[in-house]
Structure 1
Amino acid sequence: MPTNTAAPIDNALSWQENALCAQTGPEFFFPDPGSSTREAKRLCGACEGREACLEYALTHDERFGVWGGLSEKERYQLKRGRG
């Protein structure tokens, strides 16, 4: 049986498979500057992958869009508070 060396990576990102953002367009999560992030945050709040998504964004220094229910500014503030 062949081994799949990508399995650990797939497991680390498995939250993406059922994420609500995968079922919608990116316009909610990457709004134009000054646009509301309310809809994205509402979807994130109902998503079972929210915590994993937020940890991914913080670990990979995602600087744009809504990740795990937080905006760029909110993630920056959270990261500053952790450090």
Structure 2
Amino acid sequence: MTDISRLPGAHDDHWNWQLAAECRDVDASLFFHPFGERGQAHDDREEEAKKVCQGCRVRRECLRYALEVREPYGVWGGLTESERAVLLRPARTSRAA
């Protein structure tokens, strides 16, 4: 079951940034890998998606959204799901010896 508790709500101001996104004019399949995609094809697709994000004026808002809702799939704000997971990991604290 999908957890929607982190979604920002139905107010326009939470979503209006999407209207200015560079990806609006690009096939969404570029940002989400198909089942079974591996290796160079996977890497090439992700790099192409990231190129779209590089010049996007709402990249920061997109990434913030993906991190807040813990978006599990795709390239958002120029980062893949594994790259976002690194940012979301709790900081390790060193133990006093």
Deviations 1:29-77 (A, max 9, x none): 0123321200110111110111100010011110000000000000000
- 1:73 maps to 82
**Partners of 2:26 and 2:79 in 1: how far apart?**
17
Give the gaps of 5 or more residues in structure 1.
Answer: 1-7
**Partners of 2:22 and 2:90 in 1: how far apart?**
28
Letter of the 1:27 counterpart: S
Give the % identical residues: 39
SS at match of 2:11: helix
Provide the aligned C-alpha RMSD in A.
Answer: 1.8
- 2:28 maps to 26
TM-score (norm 1): 0.82
Give the gaps of 5 or more residues in structure 2.
Answer: 1-9, 93-97
- How many pairs are equivalent? 76
Letter of the 1:15 counterpart: W
Runs of 4+ in 1 over 4 A off after TM superposition: none
Deviation at 1:81, TM superposition (A): 5.3
Larger radius of gyration: 2
